[in-house]
């Protein structure tokens, strides 16, 4: 049986009054991209080694065009990655839509002697390698043993009527995939972290924001150098920056200070030492649009799981299967009768950050596993997982728990703004 999943598509809609000048980018107004929800076939998305290694049922994607003449592409929007890349049309038999560099007059491979190739980044540690044409060779490896390989290149990325020439990206012409037989709908990935090769760094905007809809409504993605004057209630949490390289700390990630968790109004009694990075960098808290759910380090997850179990005792029937863990890391699951249409009242979970709070309630707390039926009941799992089970020593706040929140990445002031909003209303306010 083919299971249908949801993909969030960012559909480009540029208004005529927007003026953009790419290269040395300036913006007199906001660049606005609406989000819609659309169903598509099941797909698996590989993640980089220092991110999560499981299949994502929901991804955020942006549709734009690349090259001259323009070729339409769809890219996963990922604040947890740096290098943007496209699957290029130099091999056959690939199910994923591809970009053909031979058809673009503005496509330029990056030479091995280029500073872009010789400067160390998270994605390309020194030394880099060269192909037979002395082009900068790129190889990305993933935690599920898949890989993507090709060359660094530049081309014009077009958003509506505006273009950004000379954008650096990976043009991947080969690789292994955990889902090569699936009907993939995306051409590549758009890296949006703080690294020098990320898309937002190359665009040179001082901030970007998004609002992810929680149901069949419009959301919005905004690039802007201005203030969100219509939104008065943003609470800011500072971005943590560590200048010294640490083995398990991603300095390009959007890392924030975690203060703890509340279940209903009960603050979990967690020691401060497990809520912040240790001397190796392990234990950072990242906001990641490329991850679906939220993952906590082992001790914090255990405390949250036990308290949620305690507060739902007698309300929900626990799945009694110690060998079952959804996506390998979410092992608190319940049985919901097939004829049950509404969830009972559940205790809310709050993620407490320095200066801001993310409150998760209602249907965002449980995820019904597609096709998983036990004893005439659906299996529904808590949408928090144990990052230790994935071999990831970090807290990762996924986009499922960012629904109906305005998330502003203020790069100039090194902070993240968070405010609860209805994404369809936010879209109307910004588009008016």
- Residue 199: inside a domain: yes
Kindly state whether residues 86 and 179 are assigned to the same domain: yes
Kindly state whether residues 199 and 242 are assigned to the same domain: no
Kindly state whether residues 305 and 247 are assigned to the same domain: yes
In this model, does residue 46 exceed pLDDT 80?
no
Bridge partners (DSSP) of residue 222 are 32, 209
The set of residues, in sequence order, having a beta carbon less than 8 Å from that of 127 and lying 6+ positions away, is none
Tens of pLDDT along 292-321? 899 999 999 999 999 999 999 989 999 999
Rounded Cα–Cα distance for residues 81 and 51 (Å)? 9
Q: Residue 353: which of 232, 246, 207, 255 has the closest Cα?
A: 255
- Residue 126: inside a domain: yes
Question: Can you give the pLDDT at residue 99?
Answer: 94
Mean predicted confidence (pLDDT) in 161-172: 89
Question: Can you give the pLDDT at residue 340?
Answer: 85
Structural domain range at position 35: 4-205
Kindly state whether residues 243 and 128 are assigned to the same domain: no
Kindly state whether residues 41 and 116 are assigned to the same domain: yes
Number of Cβ atoms within 10 Å of the Cβ of 225: 16
Ranges 15-24, 265-274, 390-399: which has the least confidence: 15-24
Mean predicted confidence (pLDDT) in 275-288: 95
pTM of the model: 0.84
Distances (CA, A) of 226 to 13, 230, 287, 410: 19, 11, 22, 10
Distances (CA, A) of 417 to 22, 106, 262, 358: 26, 37, 20, 11
- Residue 103: inside a domain: yes
Residue corresponding to tokens 């991850």: 291
- Residue 228: inside a domain: no
Question: Can you give the pLDDT at residue 133?
Answer: 86
Rounded Cα–Cα distance for residues 190 and 320 (Å)? 40
Domain end (from 205, 224, 249): 205
Kindly state whether residues 55 and 195 are assigned to the same domain: yes
Active site residues: 78, 288
Do residues 331 and 324 lie in contact, with contact meaning Cβ atoms separated by under 8 Å?
yes
Distances (CA, A) of 156 to 161, 166, 169: 12, 6, 10
Rounded Cα–Cα distance for residues 288 and 278 (Å)? 20
Rounded Cα–Cα distance for residues 235 and 358 (Å)? 10
Do residues 253 and 235 lie in contact, with contact meaning Cβ atoms separated by under 8 Å?
no
Please name the helix (run of DSSP H) or strand (run of DSSP E) that holds residue 287, with its range, or none: strand 284-287
Kindly state whether residues 385 and 293 are assigned to the same domain: yes
Kindly state whether residues 110 and 21 are assigned to the same domain: yes
Burial string for 105-118 (b: 16+ CB within 10 Å, else e) reads: ebbebbebebebbe
- Residue 213: inside a domain: no
Do residues 83 and 188 lie in contact, with contact meaning Cβ atoms separated by under 8 Å?
no
CA dihedral 396, 400, 404, 408 (to 10 degrees): 30
Tally of domains in the chain: 2
Rounded Cα–Cα distance for residues 131 and 234 (Å)? 48
CATH number (domain holding residue 119): 2.40.70.10
| Helices of type H across 286-330 | 298-311
Do residues 88 and 150 lie in contact, with contact meaning Cβ atoms separated by under 8 Å?
yes
Rounded Cα–Cα distance for residues 332 and 431 (Å)? 41
Mean predicted confidence (pLDDT) in 73-88: 89
Rounded Cα–Cα distance for residues 4 and 57 (Å)? 9
If you write DSSP's letter for every residue of 45-109 in order, what string do you get?
---BTTS--S--S--EEEEEEETTTTEEEEEEEETT----EEEBSSSSS--S--B-GGG-TT-EE
Rounded Cα–Cα distance for residues 184 and 210 (Å)? 24
Tens of pLDDT along 93-148? 555 678 999 999 999 999 988 888 877 666 555 556 788 888 998 877 654 455 67
Q: Residues, the chain, total?
A: 432
- Residue 214: inside a domain: no
What DSSP designation does 302 have? H
- Residue 357: inside a domain: yes
- Residue 217: inside a domain: no
CA dihedral 156, 160, 161, 166 (to 10 degrees): -10
Mean predicted confidence (pLDDT) in 191-204: 91
What DSSP designation does 345 have? P
């Amino acid at each position: 049986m083919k299971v249908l999943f949801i993909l969030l598509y960012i559909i480009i809609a540029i208004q005529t009054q927007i003026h953009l000048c790419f290269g040395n980018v300036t913006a007199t107004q906001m660049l606005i991209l609406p989000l819609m929800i659309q169903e598509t076939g099941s797909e698996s998305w590989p993640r980089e080694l220092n991110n999560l290694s499981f299949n994502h049922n929901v991804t955020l994607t942006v549709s734009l065009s690349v090259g001259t003449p323009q070729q339409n592409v769809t890219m996963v929007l990922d604040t947890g990655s740096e290098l943007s890349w496209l699957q290029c049309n130099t091999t056959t038999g690939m199910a994923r839509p591809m970009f053909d560099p031979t058809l673009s007059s503005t496509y330029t491979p990056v030479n091995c002697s280029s500073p872009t190739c010789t400067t160390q980044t998270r994605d390309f540690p020194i030394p880099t390698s060269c192909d037979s044409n002395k082009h900068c060779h790129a190889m990305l490896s993933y935690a599920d043993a898949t890989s993507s390989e090709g060359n660094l290149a530049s081309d014009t990325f077009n958003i509506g009527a505006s273009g950004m020439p000379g954008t650096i990206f990976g043009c991947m012409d080969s690789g292994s995939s955990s889902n090569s037989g699936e009907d993939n709908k995306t051409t590549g990935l758009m890296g949006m972290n703080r690294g020098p090769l990320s898309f937002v760094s190359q665009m040179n905007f001082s901030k970007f924001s998004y609002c992810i809809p929680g149901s069949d409504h419009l959301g919005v993605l905004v690039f802007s150098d201005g203030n969100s004057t219509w939104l008065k209630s943003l609470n800011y949490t500072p971005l943590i920056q560590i200048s010294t390289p640490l083995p398990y700390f991603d300095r390009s990630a959007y890392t924030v200070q975690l203060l703890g968790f509340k279940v209903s109004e009960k603050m979990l009694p967690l020691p401060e030492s497990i809520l912040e990075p240790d001397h190796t960098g392990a234990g950072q808290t990242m906001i990641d649009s490329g991850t679906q759910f939220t993952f906590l380090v082992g001790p914090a997850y255990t405390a949250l799981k036990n308290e949620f179990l305690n507060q739902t005792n007698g309300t929900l029937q626990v799945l009694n299967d110690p060998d079952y863990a959804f996506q390998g890391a979410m092992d608190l699951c319940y049985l919901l009768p097939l004829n049950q249409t509404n969830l009972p009242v559940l205790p809310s979970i709050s993620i407490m950050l320095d200066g801001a709070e993310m409150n998760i309630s209602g249907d965002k707390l449980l995820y019904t596993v597609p096709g998983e039926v036990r004893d005439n009941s659906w299996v529904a799992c808590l949408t928090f997982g144990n990052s230790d089970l994935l071999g990831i020593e970090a807290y990762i706040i996924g986009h499922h728990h960012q629904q109906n929140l305005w998330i502003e990445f203020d790069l100039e002031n090194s902070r993240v703004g968070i405010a609860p909003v209805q994404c369809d209303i936010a879209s109307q306010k910004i588009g008016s």
